[in-house]
Amino acid sequence: MGGNGWAAVFAASGSTEPEIARALELRGGAVSAHRLVKHPVVVRIVQLIRDEQLARVLRGEFGVQSQARAAAPAIMQNLTELAGAAAPDGEGKRAGRARRDADSIRAGELVLDVGGYRINRHQHEHVHQVLFEQMSDQELETLASDGTWPERLQGALGGAAGFTGRPALPGPR
């Protein structure tokens, strides 16, 4: 590929004129790259590259995210129809509505999730809070001073009780 072809590839990929000049080792630097990028042959090649990229995006062949974005309107249209949002026809029937109520409800939930109208809340309960709430003040003091868990909880802790002991420090030399 000649200088015009490489200049077109760099220009189509978003390279700046100084970057093109460095990549093609042009003696005139950015000025030469500017002239090269403005050449009618290079302009035509860049346009052909961009047209092909656009055609691939529209066909859904140019990246997973591009495919998802291109398909999103049709998918959402289908989901809203399944959820029962389509206007009834002259006979009062809703075209495209899911046959089973469960499918219709799930499609409706998904549409509301995507639209940002539903908020998923999660409640987390940490194990250490539950364990410490079960322990008496005396048991907590014993755990804090010598790292010993109460006997009644040792079976519930499984292997975790072995990790609570204090590490032994090396003796002085």
Q: Which parts of the chain sit beneath pLDDT 50?
A: 161
According to DSSP, the residues that pair with 88 across neighbouring strands are: 94
Please enumerate in sequence order all residues whose Cβ is within 8 A of that of 95, keeping only pairs 6 or more positions apart, or say none.
81, 86, 89
* Cα–Cα dist 147/156, whole Å: 16
Tell me how many degrees the CA angle 22-24-28 measures, rounded to the nearest 5: 70
Tens of pLDDT, residues 32-57: 888 989 999 999 999 998 898 888 87
Residue 64 confidence (pLDDT): 66
Gap between the terminal Cα atoms of the chain: 73
pLDDT of residue 125: 66
Task: Look at residue 55 in the predicted model and tell me its pLDDT.
Answer: 87
Q: What is the pLDDT of residue 79?
A: 79
